Amino acid sequence: MAESRIVTVCALQFACTDDISTNVDTAERLVRAAHQKGANIILIQELFEGYYFCQAQREDFFQRAKPRKDHPTILRMQKLAKELGVVIPVSFFEEANNAHYNSIVVIDSDGTDLGLYRKSHIPDGPGYQEKFYFNQGDTGFKVFQTKFAKIGVGICWDQWFPEAARAMVLQGAEILFYPTAIGSEPQDDGLDSRDHWKRVMQGHAGANLVPLVASNRIGKEIIQTEHGKSEITFYGNSFIAGPSGELIADANDKDEAILTAQFDLGKIKSKRHSWGIFRDRRPDLYKVLLTLDGSNISL
């Protein structure tokens, strides 16, 4: 029998204001409530300190970025994690000299900063103009050994890439976490990606035989852009998937939520190993993945 290792994971979901103090207070309130429900690892949504400002290309929005060192929200979450004995990945807009990143710090249950991941895939489309603000991440995909589990964290657009999920699990990630900000498409009122969004990540969970946690915001946010007002209604639908891709818990598109699920990582590890998907991989045949157009695969 596999050695039992029980962990309870959590996805939070809430509407953001454009006031840092209000949002961080909300995050702390929900983290405390999640802890009361037995959560060990608690995921807060992407860039939760304020509105999703990437609807616009505005020079003044760079003032929202702060260096990682002595970042007030990170320091506050370190204190909270230590007090409650929980793990908290914290998303923030990072300033690093003249570079800027969409970043996350993973805080362990004793308040230790375990390290930094910078978002690798940066989108650029109507309402989601992140390339104006963020450099491409330079950390590579990372895995963090926390008290409760070895975890991998991707950020929003990273969640659409199976290579990212596989890279983290190859490094030993036992659970995947994806903080997110996604909703309506300003250029197309008829486009609703929520089901597609969920199915893609459920596929990552199933293909890698690991649980997966996704946290998204809710609410309507209006940003003044260079061309007038832009509006996104964020569709929530935060969820937790099991290691076969099954939905364990999910939220709706309107309400604040604290989703929890318990997993036996020892049992899941045994199933993952016996399933054979990592035994039967053929990295020698995957060189095409190192190209952009499928040609020149002799690299």
pLDDT digits (tens, 9 = 90+) for 118-156: 999 999 999 999 999 999 999 999 999 999 999 999 999
The predicted pLDDT at position 284 comes to 93
Question: Residue 221 is inside which H or E element, if any?
Answer: strand 218-225
The predicted pLDDT at position 30 comes to 98
Q: Which residues of the chain have pLDDT under 50?
A: none
The predicted pLDDT at position 299 comes to 52
Q: Where does residue 170 rank: exposed (0-12), middle (13-18), buried (19+ CB within 10 A)? A: middle
45 DSSP assignment? P
The single residue of 10, 94, 156, 221 carrying the catalytic annotation is: 156
The single residue of 49, 54, 94, 119 carrying the catalytic annotation is: 119
Catalytic residue status for 119 = yes
Catalytic residue status for 46 = yes
The predicted pLDDT at position 116 comes to 98
Catalytic residue status for 156 = yes
Listed in sequence order, the DSSP H helices in the chain are 20-36, 72-84, 162-170, 194-208, 265-275
The predicted pLDDT at position 296 comes to 77
In one-letter notation, the amino acid at residue 203 is: G
Q: pTM of the prediction?
A: 0.97
What DSSP string describes 224-261?
Answer: EETTEEEEEEEE---EEE-TTS-EEEE--SSS-EEEEE
